[in-house]
Structure 1
Amino acid sequence: MFSAATYAERRKALCARLTERGEKGLLLFPGHASSPMNYTDNAYPFRQDSSFLYFFGHDHEGLTGVINLDAGESWYFDQGFSMDDIIWSGATATPEELAARCGAEKYGEEKTLVQMIADAKKTQRPIHILPVYRADSRMRLVQLLDCGVMEVDTFVSTPFIKEVVALRSIKSIEEVMEIEQALETSYAMYANALSATRPGASERQIASILHSTLALAGSTASFTPICTGRGQILHNHEYSHILHSGDMLLIDSGAESENHYASDITRTFPVSGTFTDQQRAVYTIVLAAQEAAISKCAPDVPFIDCHMTAAKIIASGLRDLGVLKGNVDDIVDAGAHALFFPHGLGHMLGLDVHDMEGLGEDFVGYDSTITRSEKFGLRGLRLARKLQRGFVVTVEPGCYFISALMEQWEAEGTCKEFINFDTAKQFSEFGGIRIEDNVYISRDGHRVLGQQIPKTIAGIEGRMHASSQRLFQCN
C-alpha cells in the first residue's frame, strides 16, 4: 500500500470535485469477494477492484468503502473474520488498524453499513456506484441496496464515473514508479523468452518462461500473455504449436507491480534469430510507425492524431511493397490500410492494463470533443481524446495478413481501388508484427518508460545471436 495520506488525499479530491458539481449522498465502493473456481474453497487468485484499490488501498476480500459527500468523511467497512478464518488464513489486523492504514476517518461492521444505506434510502439521499462488471458484486449490491438485480444499474452515477476517471487518468510520480517496477519484470520476461526462442521450441515452452519469470519476481500477469507464432490472430492465447525457422514469435505480455500497476509490452522476434527479407521489410514499416507515433505524443495532442500518423506510415510502407496503391492520404481516408492494421494504436495504462475500461471505455478514451468512429480500424480505438500531462499510454501499431479478412474484402470488392490483392496474397503465410511500449506524457512531451527491450532489427538479431552462441558453448 501507499501511505495513508495518499488514499486520504485521493478521497478528499474526489469528494471536492463531486460537491463542486452539486452532488450529495454516499459514494459506495464494494470491494471484491473471493471467486470460486469449481467449489467454494478452491478459488481463482484474488484480485481487488481497481477503484477500491485506488481510493482505499486494501487488497483482500470482504471490504467496502463509503465516502459521505455531505459530511466530507470516509468509512471503511470489514465483514469481519472468524476463528476458522484465522486458522486457515492467519490473523489479520483489526478494522480500526485497517482503517488507519488507508486514512479513513471512521470504520464499522457490516451491520453498520447496511443501516447506513437503509437510512440513506429512507431519507432519499442519493447513493452513487460505479458500473458493475462482476456478477458476485452485483448480487452483493442487490443485498446492500435492497433492490432487484437489474435495478442495481439505476444507482450507477455518471458524475461519479467522470470524476474517478479524471483522477485516475493523471498518474502521480509514485504511480509511475509502480509502472516502472512492473516494467522491470517485463524486461526480465522478454530477456528470458528471447534467449529461449529458437527452431524446435514450442509456444508453450516460451509461455512457461514468461510465467516462471513472473513467479520468481513475486509478480502476476496483468493479463493472459499472448505468445504465438501466428501473430495475425490478435489475441491468440493458444500455445500448442512448435516454432520453425522462418516463423516469427509475437509476445504481448505484462506484469503487475506490488501495488497492482500494470505493464504491457509487445515484441516480435524471428525464431531463427535473423529476419527474412520479407519480414525485415514489414518490421521496418511497423517500427517506423511506432517511433513516429511515440514522437508525436505530447500534452494537448489528440491520440487519434498519433494513430493516424502510424496508419499513414503503414499505408506508405505497404504501398512501397506493392500491397497498396494510390495516394497515401486517399488510402487512409478510405480505410484500406485497416485491412492490415485493424486495431487502435493503444490505450490508457495504470491499475488496469486497459486502464478504467470497467468504468466505460467511452468515458476514458473519449469526451465531448470527440466521438467514436464507426469506420473499421477506427471503431476499435480505445483512446482518441487529447493527451494530458500525467497520462500513461501504450503505443502499439501492427501489421497483419489475415487470410480470411483479405478473402472477404476481395470477394466484396472493399477498397479494391487501393489494394493489390494478388500481391497481398504473397504474404498469406506471413503472420503479423506488433511492437508496443508504455509512454508517459510529460510536461513538454513524453518519456518511454522502462529499460529498453530490444526492438530494432540490429538489436534483436544481435541479442538472439549472442544467446545462441552462449547456448552452443554450453552444449
Structure 2
Amino acid sequence: TKNGQVLHNHYHGNTIQEGDMILCDTGAEISSGYAGDMTRTFPVAAQFSNTQRELYQTVLNAHEAAIAALKPGVRYKDIHLLACTELAKGLTEVGLMKGDPNEAVAAGAHTMFFQCGLGHMMGMDVHDMENLGEPYVGYSDTLKKSTEFGLKSLRLGKELEAGFVITVEPGIYIIPELIDRWKAENKCAEFLNYDKLESYKSFGGIRIEEDFVITENGADLLGKPVAKTVQDVEDIRKEALQS
C-alpha cells in the first residue's frame, strides 16, 4: 500500500506517484508449514525525501534497539516500551514531539504515531495461536493485557523464552483523523507539536519488520538479511529505476 498509516489496508485502487512511499507487509509459508512475516518500506522515487528519511531512520533506530534487547527472561512489553522511547527520541529531534521522551511515553503521547504493538508470536500461523485468545498466548498469570490505547494492541507482553519465534516491527503511522481528534481535545499537548503535525497529514506510514528466534543467550534473525538501511534501500531503488 501507499497508505501505510492504515494497518492492513486492503484497498488497491491507488496510483503510485513520485513522492509516495510503498509499505509492503509480506507473509510467506515454507514447505513444512511454518510462516514468515516481513515488512519493508521504500520510496517510489530513487531516494527518500528529507522528511521521509528522518522518520525512516527513527523507525530503524527503534527496530535495532529492540533487536539488541531480545533475550530470554526479558518481558516483551519492556522491549516494546524501549522501542517506543526510541521513537519518541527521534520524533522529538525532528520537532513532532517535545519534552522528555520517557515522560512522553509514560503519558502515552507516542501513540499518536505508534498505535499498535511491537510484535507477536509466530509459528504455523503468522499470528500463532492468537485465535485461542491473545491473553492466553501473549500474557501470563503475572502479566495481564492492558486496556490502554497502544498497549492494548500489544499481542505479546510476557517474558521471552528460548525457542520463541517472534516478529519485531516498530513503525510510525501518521493518521489525520487521530491528529484532528487529539488536537480538539488538546490531548498530550505538552508532548506533541500539533502545528507541525498539520504539515505531516499526508505523510503515510513506515514499518520495518523482521523475524527472530529467541536463543539461550539472545536472538537469531530468521532468513537471509533483507536491505533495511537508508543507503541500501536507496541503492536498490536507484538500480531498479535505471533498469
TM-score range, shorter chain: over 0.9
Structure-2 separation of matches of 1:361 and 1:251: 25
Report deviation, 1:453: 1.1
Cα deviation, 1:37-70, whole Å, max 9, x if unaligned, reads xxxxxxxxxxxxxxxxxxxxxxxxxxxxxxxxxx
1:427 to 184, 200, 204: 200
Letter in 2 for 1:287: L
Q: Relative CO higher for 1 or 2, CA cutoff 8 Å, sep ≥ 6?
A: 2
1:291 equivalent in structure 2? 64
Stretches of structure 2 that go unaligned for 5 or more consecutive residues are none
Report deviation, 1:375: 1.4
Cα deviation, 1:218-271, whole Å, max 9, x if unaligned, reads xxxxxxxxxx01101111011111111110000001111123211000000000
Cα deviation, 1:165-192, whole Å, max 9, x if unaligned, reads xxxxxxxxxxxxxxxxxxxxxxxxxxxx
Structure-1 separation of matches of 2:46 and 2:3: 17
1:439 equivalent in structure 2? 212
- Runs of 4 or more above 6 Å deviation: none
Counterpart of 2:202 in 1: which secondary structure? coil
Computed over aligned residues only, the root mean square deviation of the Cα atoms, in angstroms, reads 0.8
Letter in 1 for 2:22: L
- Give the TM-score of the pair, scaled to structure 1: 0.51
1:329 equivalent in structure 2? 102
Report percent identity of matched pairs.
47
Counterpart of 1:250 in 2: which secondary structure? strand
Report deviation, 1:376: 0.8
2:4 equivalent in structure 1? 231
Report deviation, 1:358: 1.5
Matches within 5 A, 1:63-462: 228-462=1-235
Report deviation, 1:332: 0.4
Structure-1 separation of matches of 2:186 and 2:97: 14
Structure-2 separation of matches of 1:452 and 1:237: 27
- Give the TM-score of the pair, scaled to structure 2: 0.98
Cα deviation, 1:16-55, whole Å, max 9, x if unaligned, reads xxxxxxxxxxxxxxxxxxxxxxxxxxxxxxxxxxxxxxxx
Report deviation, 1:369: 1.6
Number of residue equivalences: 243
Letter in 2 for 1:433: I
Letter in 1 for 2:40: R
Report deviation, 1:324: 0.9
Cα deviation, 1:108-132, whole Å, max 9, x if unaligned, reads xxxxxxxxxxxxxxxxxxxxxxxxx
Report deviation, 1:467: 2.2
Q: If you compute each CA radius of gyration, which structure gives the higher value, 1 or 2?
A: 1
Structure-2 separation of matches of 1:257 and 1:430: 35
Structure-1 separation of matches of 2:47 and 2:187: 35
Structure-2 separation of matches of 1:303 and 1:449: 18
Structure-2 separation of matches of 1:442 and 1:239: 39
Counterpart of 2:153 in 1: which secondary structure? coil
1:23 equivalent in structure 2? none
